[in-house]
A = this chain, B = another copy of it.
Amino acid sequence: MPQTPLTVAELSEAELLTRIFPRLELGAAHNAAVLLGPGDDAAVVAAPDGRTVVSIDTQVQDQDFRLQWRNGYRTTGYDVGWKAAAQNLSDINAMGAVATSLIVSLTMPSGTPVEWVEDLADGLAAAIGKLGAGSCSVAGGDLGRGGELSITAAVLGTLAGGQPVLRSGAAAGDTLAIAGNAGQAAAGLALLESEQHPLESLTPELRLLLDLQCRPEPPLEAGPLARLSGATAMMDISDGLVRDGARLARASGVVLDLDVPALRLLAAPLQAAARLLGADPLAWVLGGGEDHGLLATFPAGVQLPPGFTGIGSVQARGTTEAAGVTVAGRPADSVGWDHFAD
């Protein structure tokens, strides 16, 4: 007889926490910033320079992830935990700060397997460790019931005495640069949504793109390095290079002009997936979100910190021109991607 998996409805909150906590213990180095961890009404986290950087982000089943994708892939608890951590850590990274703690609230239907929740805790811990959030740990959280799976994480961070890098500081003449992936997560999403190309048929190169959609890899060293290198503006790319770039451009009152050769380089790792699916890889580079790369501007002549690649320049806005993103001088959203294709 097949064994029915143990569900969260069969455990008390205390019993479930007993299974989760050991999975979140990340070693002494990780816990340095958490002065009082889970178990009381609130946690206490160090804020050594007298300020706390804070952000919050929610993922909801069937909105931000499907439990079952068209190509056969099933989203694991590990994926959801990883992504919750990665998205939030990225917001701290985008300020040039370093994460000190995550506070996680998990809402689950009563039929959720306990194993899935344990897997989620493993994913949270793995993302913190493998993405290099060396001084971050899970300081607390909340468990509750709901009709659908939903995970909200709040993340705290420190600027270590520095100033946050805002979206509003880009100036004409600055160099525009990117760190991390651009388009991989979008290509991975297209693969997940493709019934014609089932999971087991994917080459390792394609599987990597799928993995980067499910478990994105924000470049967590790049944010603080950009701040120390004098980045004038920065944000994380969660909704796509053009959409997020336009936000930075508007906040700064400038135009961001992207170079075609740089975009082609970014598109190179996406060619195989684009050929398979008959898609335009440049559309993924320009429009794809969820990679959580960093878009930053630096004063001209500054040596870009490790991890960043120049992809264009910041230009003054013409008197009649809206702040926004252009590609080789043309508005990025009014020109077909095929203008720039090989």
| Residue positions of A touching B, CB distance < 8 A | 35-36, 39-58, 60, 62-64, 90-92, 94-95, 97, 101, 103-105, 107, 139-142, 144-148, 150, 152, 154-157, 159, 164, 166-167, 235-236, 251
What are 18 A-B pairs at a CB distance below 8 A?
A39-B167, A39-B251, A40-B235, A41-B236, A43-B55, A44-B52, A45-B51, A45-B52, A49-B50, A52-B52, A56-B103, A56-B140, A56-B142, A57-B105, A58-B152, A60-B144, A147-B147, A156-B156
List the 9 closest pairs (A to B, CB-CB), nearest first: A47-B47, A154-B154, A41-B94, A42-B55, A152-B152, A60-B146, A52-B52, A58-B105, A56-B103
Q: Which residues of B contact A159 (CB under 8 A)?
A: 44
One complex includes copies of this chain to the number of 2
Complex Cα gap A279–B218 (Å): 56
Q: Which residues of B contact A145 (CB under 8 A)?
A: 60, 63
Nearest CB of chain B from residue A87's CB, rounded to whole Å: 10
Besides A47-B50, A56-B104, 20 new A-B residue pairs in contact (Cβ under 8 A), listed by A number: A40-B94, A41-B55, A42-B92, A42-B164, A44-B159, A45-B52, A54-B103, A54-B140, A54-B156, A55-B103, A56-B105, A56-B141, A56-B154, A58-B152, A60-B145, A60-B146, A105-B152, A107-B150, A152-B152, A156-B156
Q: Which of A41, A145, A166, A251 has the most CB of B within 10 A?
A: A41
Whether B46 and A50, one on each chain, are in contact in the complex, defined by CB atoms closer than 8 angstroms, is: yes
Whether A42 and B91, one on each chain, are in contact in the complex, defined by CB atoms closer than 8 angstroms, is: yes
Complex Cα gap A142–B84 (Å): 13
Whether A64 and B95, one on each chain, are in contact in the complex, defined by CB atoms closer than 8 angstroms, is: no
Whether A41 and B91, one on each chain, are in contact in the complex, defined by CB atoms closer than 8 angstroms, is: yes
Q: Which residues of B contact A45 (CB under 8 A)?
A: 51-52, 54
Closest partner residue, chain B, to A294 (CB atom): B41
Whether A142 and B101, one on each chain, are in contact in the complex, defined by CB atoms closer than 8 angstroms, is: no
Whether A146 and B144, one on each chain, are in contact in the complex, defined by CB atoms closer than 8 angstroms, is: no
Pick from B55, B90, B97, B139: contact of A54, CB under 8 Å: B139
Q: Which residues of B contact A91 (CB under 8 A)?
A: 41-42
Q: Which residues of B contact A60 (CB under 8 A)?
A: 107, 144-147, 150
Nearest CB of chain B from residue A2's CB, rounded to whole Å: 29
Nearest CB of chain B from residue A245's CB, rounded to whole Å: 14
Whether A144 and B58, one on each chain, are in contact in the complex, defined by CB atoms closer than 8 angstroms, is: yes
Nearest CB of chain B from residue A182's CB, rounded to whole Å: 17
Closest partner residue, chain B, to A144 (CB atom): B58
Q: Which residues of B contact A63 (CB under 8 A)?
A: 144-146
Q: Which residues of B contact A167 (CB under 8 A)?
A: 39-41
Closest partner residue, chain B, to A234 (CB atom): B41
Instruction: Take A53-B43, A94-B41, A235-B41 as given contacts and tell me if A58 and B142 are in contact as well, using a CB distance cutoff of 8 Å.
Output: yes
Complex Cα gap A92–B148 (Å): 28
Whether B147 and A42, one on each chain, are in contact in the complex, defined by CB atoms closer than 8 angstroms, is: no
Instruction: Take A105-B58, A105-B152 as given contacts and tell me if A44 and B140 are in contact as well, using a CB distance cutoff of 8 Å.
Output: no
Instruction: Take A105-B152, A147-B148, A152-B152 as given contacts and tell me if A53 and B44 are in contact as well, using a CB distance cutoff of 8 Å.
Output: yes
